[in-house]
Amino acid sequence: MLGKEYYDTARALEFAAKYHTGFRKDGITPELQHQVEIVHYLRTLLPSYIYPQDVLTTGVLHDTDEDYPQSRIEIEKHFNARVAHSVALLNKNGKDKTYYFESIAQDEIASIVKGADRIHNIQSMIGVFNVQKQHKYIEEVEQYFLPMLKTARRKFPQQEMAYENIKHLLISQIDLIKEIHNKPALVSVKAVGND
């Protein structure tokens, strides 16, 4: 971050570390690791963004407002209006799901970060979420995420490569999960030796 002079993103990491002190749903992984891994992925698409530093900064802060509502005023105070707006859009608390995704699709930053967030959530859900919850995540990708990405890609064609990358990863992930769930469990068979 500092090599590119993305000082806001570096500050966001310090800011998020104050709030994200617990563990993820697996009870092992530090909560902040989710944000860090999303930002590592987002960094691979930097040339595709209209506002590269704001995408990374929002990626770091994307759960802070939703999980820690008291952070909103600080986010608005310490980060630019574009980041604060995108982070607020990503807070799903109390929002109708259709309205939530339609709003995100209209924002060049939130639409990218939301896709990256779901990539990491799917990547880290095996062994943590039961099969029903995994299927719910897959259904949400098909019903809400892919249409949101399509709308955003049309609205922000400069970011087409990022949207296509996110879409490809999400489709690959859900196809793999579906295939895993459709396979019968492997049965371990003991080899029987000749006496």
Q: Which two tokens stand for residue 162?
A: 């990022």
Q: Does residue 186 surpass a pLDDT of 70?
A: no
List residues bridging with 30 in a β-sheet: 23
DSSP state of 147: H
Residue 152: predicted pLDDT: 98
Confidence of residue 54 (pLDDT cuts 50, 70, 90): very high
Q: Which two tokens stand for residue 100?
A: 């939530």
* Structural contact between residues 89 and 66, judged by C-beta atoms closer than 8 angstroms: no
Residue 195: predicted pLDDT: 43
* Structural contact between residues 122 and 143, judged by C-beta atoms closer than 8 angstroms: no
User: pLDDT digit string (tens) for 103-161?
Assistant: 999 999 999 999 999 999 998 887 788 889 999 999 999 999 999 999 999 999 999 99
pTM for the structure as a whole:
0.89
User: pLDDT digit string (tens) for 67-117?
Assistant: 998 999 999 999 999 999 999 999 999 999 999 999 999 999 999 999 999
Residue 31: predicted pLDDT: 86
Assign 3 to helix, strand or coil: helix
DSSP state of 5: T
Distance in angstroms (rounded) separating the CA atoms of residues 86 and 107: 7
Distance in angstroms (rounded) separating the CA atoms of residues 56 and 13: 10
Residue 194: predicted pLDDT: 45
Q: Does residue 19 surpass a pLDDT of 50?
A: yes
* Structural contact between residues 54 and 83, judged by C-beta atoms closer than 8 angstroms: yes
Candidates 89, 94, 119, 93; CA nearest to 106 is: 89
Say which CATH architecture domain 2-181 belongs to: Orthogonal Bundle (1.10)
Element (H, E) at 69: none
Distance in angstroms (rounded) separating the CA atoms of residues 127 and 109: 30
The domain spans of the chain are: 2-181
